[in-house]
Structure 1
């Protein structure tokens, strides 16, 4: 293979390559926000000024932590019901802008020191609605606009930018806690929260500089606008771009020809039933690996393992965030288009299960801290957590964001992603809400639970996931789940039964 892994695929033009990455850099500010909010919340909840300003005692700390994170994800869950019809009616571009604006409003409510937990919770829910809307529409928009040669890499930017957000939050949390002028004042928690206004505002304004989705425009019979959109994002109007435009039109016409008007009956076709099983389940397992809970409550997990002497837990959390970035960066540039989706998911789940088992055994049978010092067992445990997060960011972190939008045909893609995001936010809510109680009640056995889910995820992917890498989006969505087809006569591009 030599240095082939370092080569980037040839696209329509240099300008088109730049614009594809430019578009991804803008829309995946949304995942930077998601990561930043996840990372910053865990640190803010450990600050004494936050506890003082909102007037709760250490006895209710687990409750406030659970509600702070859980209500945000509940808002994201509810948003999936709202943003699915909006993106179908008004398009991807303006729906993303609306979600970003809602996020800005939620952040403003949280930043104001209201001294009211009720107001704080309202801000968390509002921001969650914005985040949930972004999570539904952004992967869809990315899949529909990026070239097939780099669709996996661009789709994986969701997780990459998420890791940058988490790392930024961890180090900002650490920085304000160490600052003699900021720590022990209300600014210690207001500054990390208020900084979210910057990327969310940039996302809102930048969306007005991007074109609408080519496939959405074609689905609304706006072919002239669709051609302008495609020629802009590909950077030329040459034959290759024209061929892609015609191929996309043909795929959409084939879908439309099958059933001119969408009906619920389509969803009961065996291949579509499998899509609605596989897509949401992918995001369920993405959360049950434990990595999402670790991202939010990393300081609490590290405190469990090595204590918090000298802000040790926050320092290890900061390094944890940096390692997430390194792992996902390596994946984006060297693995995203070199390995099949199934190989990455099966291998990743297996590797994480082994890491979680080792962590459980070490913590159970060998003390990880002695007084103010960390033992060799503690160092080994931290190393395994770091290895686990590297594996996650080369597999279950980025891959589902690229894979799930690929398996749904255009006519049901927004619905499929909406349902998948419902599963994502529901499980994220459950694990984030439960994590503080798991840490305080079952200690190291928390990791054993994550190991079990990792093992099941590997088995599930091996038997149910079909490969989509390197296929035109219409063909990728038309991958037939042959074991579940009742009719041998099928149209691959449509993924629906001919009648």
Structure 2
């Protein structure tokens, strides 16, 4: 009877508890880790969707009418809607660390989900109040910013080493996919009657992946690595056995490897002080990390993600074609990101790809500027200049997703020695984000 119950509980990831183990499982051994990856990558999808959806919403007359602001205020409303979310995400990246370290990856992810969903509720409630809407954007930013710090760590710590890189790449892919879906949702609701639902629906849809991420954690175990670091070796063994759908010797070997790795890290960081970050070799690395993240934002790809509809509207005029072009822009992003993961990610050095990407994007932007300067699309009756400019924008984003989009994170991590890797990456990323928010 006991073995029958054990098999029943392990046959469904929704019913199995993290402590249940079985030598013979009715599900594929990898199903649970892929299920965990799907749940966690909802956080990446959320960040991408939240990034992309706002640009289209701000173009709707229904949004303008409900919040009752003047046309002269449009630029300020757009800046506040985007800037508040970015600033809050920056704060969330750091604010989540003490919670993550004390209470674990699982509960922290659930908390980020709850915070994000609370922000969405404030965004969609129609009180005709921009301050309330901005408050929702801030709370959403805290949620997605916090999850962006926790989820990659959680996923990395729970993934088998032979597929860790692939699962880690899915985070970037799902972020891009979230942007893509947001563009097409904006395009679809453009044909709805211009009522409040036209802007509430695309914003409210964020609750679905937000809830999946939060409730999905109820079906998962805690990070085995975090449990070992806190001295809960038995719980770590159960969690690892659950996610591997096995309790065989491989689990014991992996657990021993985790324990040894944590001991090695403790020795490596013994006696560490923050003053070490100011010593020149380390300070140089931090400046490099900050510089590369600042350069990533300086490419303009983030601005295109947020304000794609506005950019394309300047080229082709208002209507539905601007949102259609934005949707195609999202498809190009996803396709190029997938191409990078499959064919490029680990086959070339970081520096050559970054240099080549920067050179190609510079050429695209220079040519775009020349075209727009010589032939103003707003006054030019022909279609050649807008079409050429749009093509250059698409080529630019392809180059970005093959270089400066995915590479700054592994590059920043790889330039630091183990002793200062965690604080070094945090400082470098934080400085880059701060400069981006302060000087957009």
TM-score, normalised to structure 2's length? 0.85
* Mean Cα deviation higher: 216-225 or 60-69: 216-225
* RMSD value, Cα: 2.8
Residue 424 to residue 118, structure 1, CA distance change in 2 (3 Å): same
Distance 2:78 2:334 in 1: 25
Which residue number in structure 1 is paired with residue 383 of structure 2?
375
Choose the corresponding residue for 2:345, options 308, 311, 336.
336
Deviation at 1:410, TM superposition (A): 7.4
Residue 408 to residue 139, structure 1, CA distance change in 2 (3 Å): farther
Structure 1 unaligned spans of 5+ = 1-12, 435-499
* Mean Cα deviation higher: 232-241 or 140-149: 232-241
Structure 2 unaligned spans of 5+ = 1-24
| CA-to-aligned-CA distance 1:377-410 (integer Å, 9 cap, x gap) | 2211111111111222222222334554566677
Secondary structure at 1:178 match in 2: coil
On the 8 A contact 2:123/2:137 being kept in 1, the answer is yes
On the 8 A contact 1:214/1:229 being kept in 2, the answer is yes
Choose the corresponding residue for 2:195, options 172, 182, 185.
185
Structure 1 position 291 matched with structure 2 position 301: yes
Structure 1 position 65 matched with structure 2 position 86: no
Choose the corresponding residue for 2:374, options 346, 365, 381.
365
Structure 1 position 51 matched with structure 2 position 59: no
Distance 2:159 2:292 in 1: 22
Which residue number in structure 2 is paired with residue 454 of structure 1?
none
Which residue number in structure 1 is paired with residue 188 of structure 2?
175
Which residue number in structure 2 is paired with residue 387 of structure 1?
395
Distance 1:293 1:161 in 2: 19
* Mean Cα deviation higher: 231-240 or 298-307: 231-240
Distance 1:394 1:154 in 2: 18
Q: How many pairs are equivalent? A: 415
Distance 2:426 2:55 in 1: 27
Residue 240 to residue 341, structure 1, CA distance change in 2 (3 Å): farther
Deviation at 1:414, TM superposition (A): 5.4
Deviation at 1:112, TM superposition (A): 0.2
Which residue number in structure 2 is paired with residue 80 of structure 1?
93
| CA-to-aligned-CA distance 1:143-166 (integer Å, 9 cap, x gap) | 333344433332222221112111
Distance 1:281 1:209 in 2: 40
Which residue number in structure 2 is paired with residue 313 of structure 1?
322
| CA-to-aligned-CA distance 1:262-285 (integer Å, 9 cap, x gap) | 543454566654553344433322
Distance 2:41 2:411 in 1: 16
Which residue number in structure 2 is paired with residue 21 of structure 1?
34
Which residue number in structure 2 is paired with residue 226 of structure 1?
236
Which residue number in structure 1 is paired with residue 11 of structure 2?
none
Distance 2:80 2:371 in 1: 31
TM-score, normalised to structure 1's length? 0.76
On the 8 A contact 1:38/1:296 being kept in 2, the answer is yes
Distance 2:420 2:98 in 1: 12
Which residue number in structure 2 is paired with residue 153 of structure 1?
166
